[in-house]
Amino acid sequence: MSIPSRTLGGRLAVGAVGFGAMGYAGAYDQSAAGTESPVDLIGRALDLGVTLLDTADLYGDSEEVLGRALTGRRESVVLATKFGIVAPPMGGNPPVMNGSPAYMRERIERSLTLLKTDYVDLYYLHRVDPDLPIEETVGAMAELVSQGKVRYLGLSEAAPDTIRRAHAVHPITAVETEWSLWARDIETEIFPLAQELGISVVPYSPLGRGALTGTITSRNDLSENDWRRTMPQYAEGTLDKNLTTLDVVRDIAEAHEATPGQVSLAWLLAKAPDVVPIPGTRRIAYLEQNAQAVNVVLTADDIARLDAVTVTGEREYMADNWTSGVSPQLNQ
């Protein structure tokens, strides 16, 4: 089986389902890093046609692991990484972002070294620097394109005005943001804007950070070290209520002889022909299941029922500037 391809931003061909490498490095729980050989996992991904591999300088040893796993196979993948987060909002501390040209130049060199490559296919600003106009950051990122160190540019969790301003400086190929049945705010402004500008959307956490797979039945399934416990949607009492949304997903999955996760991914794939979700996993069996979501063709009634799903609680920490993506105006 080799999954069909899609085109990001009208210029970058990738498999219709990508691979998010955040969870593989134990980003949710550092005591639960990859359980299968990364060489085997990535090798199987490429065999399936899962060519978009997404990582970041923030994801523990993810870049280094990918660099080792891709030895001899670099030209077979579309490699995406990110910079811009110095520290996430953990332990009650506010997030720290840095989109300065100097910091970017430092981080791209580090990423290239760890990934064992001369170039990155898609380079994202991981979070918008609230103190620096986006024009300055993207202008510096565009220099990396001219230097051949980066092929295409992307933004992650950027506000609509920020996306439009960035795109005016240099074409933005993709916007990566959380989007799933449990995270729908993108649909109000960002998705329509992306469609207007010819920018593709790459949904991260398309399986609700694991909840939409059906493998999480309560907070007891999460270790004490798992930071999903700090998220509003996973709060005591709230998670149990939100998990009832799986009743609809399971019902549709049964009709299609599919898994809840496959239905959740198929729902995203049906949104537009250039939407490419990047589910993560540490197991080859789940990787194969995710790829097979391309074979699930939902009916209009299925999509309407899934569109009606609602959950309680914000999708993220929602700390100041963490997901707002607002950039100060140039010359402000």
Residues 6 or more apart whose Cβ sits within 8 Å of residue 310:
245
- pLDDT band, very low/low/confident/very high, at 297 (cuts 50, 70, 90): very high
Q: Are the CB atoms for 159 and 323 separated by under 8 Å?
A: no
Residue 284 has pLDDT above 60, yes or no: yes
- pLDDT band, very low/low/confident/very high, at 91 (cuts 50, 70, 90): low
Q: What is the pLDDT of residue 230?
A: 73
- Residue 323's closest CA among 183, 128, 179? 128
Residue 29 lies in a domain: yes
Q: Tokens for 32? A: 């639960």
- 3-state class of 86 per DSSP? strand
Residue 324 lies in a domain: no
- pLDDT band, very low/low/confident/very high, at 317 (cuts 50, 70, 90): low
Distances in Å between the Cα of 131 and the Cα atoms of 44, 50, 123, 329 are 42, 37, 21, 10
In DSSP notation, 18-78 reads: -EE-TGGGTSS-GGG--SS-HHHHHHHHHHHT--EEE--TTSTTHHHHHHHHTTTTGGGSE
What is the C-alpha to C-alpha distance for residues 291 and 261, in angstroms, rounded to an integer?
Answer: 10
- Among the listed ranges 55-64, 115-124, 158-167, which one has the minimum average pLDDT value? 55-64
Q: What is the pLDDT of residue 109?
A: 98
Residue 187 lies in a domain: yes
The end-to-end CA distance of the chain, in Å, is 53
Q: What are phi and psi of 27, to 5 degrees?
A: -65, -30
Task: Give how many domains the chain has, as a whole number.
Answer: 1
- pLDDT band, very low/low/confident/very high, at 210 (cuts 50, 70, 90): confident
- If you compute the radius of gyration of the chain from its CA atoms, what whole number of angstroms results? 19
More confident residue, 31 or 71: 71
Residue 130 lies in a domain: yes
Residue 55 has pLDDT above 70, yes or no: yes
Residue 272 has pLDDT above 70, yes or no: yes
Q: Please report which residue ranges of the chain form alpha helices under DSSP H.
A: 38-48, 62-69, 101-115, 134-147, 160-169, 190-197, 238-242, 246-255, 260-269, 284-291, 300-307
- pLDDT band, very low/low/confident/very high, at 271 (cuts 50, 70, 90): very high
Residue 54 has pLDDT above 90, yes or no: yes
H/E stretch holding 85: strand 85-87
Mean pLDDT of the 232-250 span = 83
What is the C-alpha to C-alpha distance for residues 3 and 17, in angstroms, rounded to an integer?
Answer: 8
Distances in Å between the Cα of 146 and the Cα atoms of 85, 142, 155, 232 are 24, 7, 18, 42
Residue 318 lies in a domain: no
- From the candidates 24, 59, 124, 152, which is the catalytic residue? 59
Residue 321 lies in a domain: no
Residue 48 lies in a domain: yes
What is the C-alpha to C-alpha distance for residues 213 and 158, in angstroms, rounded to an integer?
Answer: 27
Other CB atoms within 10 Å distance of the CB of residue 300: 8
Q: Catalytic site residue 152?
A: no
Q: Which pTM does this prediction carry? A: 0.92
**Arithmetic mean of pLDDT over the chain:** 90
Q: Which amino acid is at 330?
A: L
Residue 18 has pLDDT above 80, yes or no: yes
Q: What is the pLDDT of residue 283?
A: 92
CATH number where 213 lies: 3.20.20.100
More confident residue, 147 or 62: 147
Q: Which domain holds residue 298?
A: 5-307
Residue 61 lies in a domain: yes
Q: Tokens for 56? A: 């970041």
